[in-house]
Amino acid sequence: MAVVFHLSVLTPERAWFSRPVVSLQAPGSQGYLGVLAHHAPLITDLVPGMLAIRDDSGVQSVYAVSGGFLEVSRNRATVLADAVEPVAEIDVERARRARDRAVERLRGPSKNRDVERAQAALARALNRLRAADGDRGRS
C-alpha cells in the first residue's frame, strides 16, 4: 500500500479535489516542486503551470493552474488556486483567442492599456496552450 497524504485543491468557485494522494507536483515561483507524504511544512506561491496529482492506485491527473498558493503541514497539502482546469477539458481555440487578445492589448497605445493585466492574461493563455499540447503528446 502506498504512503499517502491528504490533498485539497480549491478555487474561489469550487473545491476541485479533496482526497488522499501519493504525490503532487506544483509550479512554485522558484520552479516546480514535489510533495510526498510527511513533507516538511511549507507555504509558497504558485505561478501558471501544471498541477500533477498521483493517487494511491497510480493514476495521474493533470490540471492547468493559473497561480495561487500551496501550503503543506501535518501530512496535508492545500492548493488555493486562482483557477484550475483539467488538461483534458481545455478549449484550445478559446485559449488561442485569449492569447491573441492579450498580445493585441500589449501592442496597443500605452496610455490605454493595463500592462500587468494583459501580461497575466497572456501567461494564463500560454499555460493553457502548453498544457493542452502536452496532453495531446501523451495520448
The pLDDT assigned to 119 comes to 83
Q: Tell me what the pLDDT averaged over the chain comes to.
A: 88
- Integer Rg of the chain from CA: 16
Q: Which letter does DSSP use for residue 110 in this model?
A: G
Identify which of 119, 64, 126 has the alpha carbon closest to the alpha carbon of residue 99. Answer: 126
Question: Which ranges of the chain have pLDDT less than 50?
Answer: 135-139
Pick the CATH number of 5-86 from 3.40.190.120, 2.60.15.10, 1.25.40.90, 3.40.1390.20: 2.60.15.10
Report, at the CATH architecture level, how domain 90-138 is classified. Up-down Bundle (1.20)
Q: Which pLDDT value is given to residue 111?
A: 60
Q: How many CB atoms lie within 10 A of CB 118?
A: 18
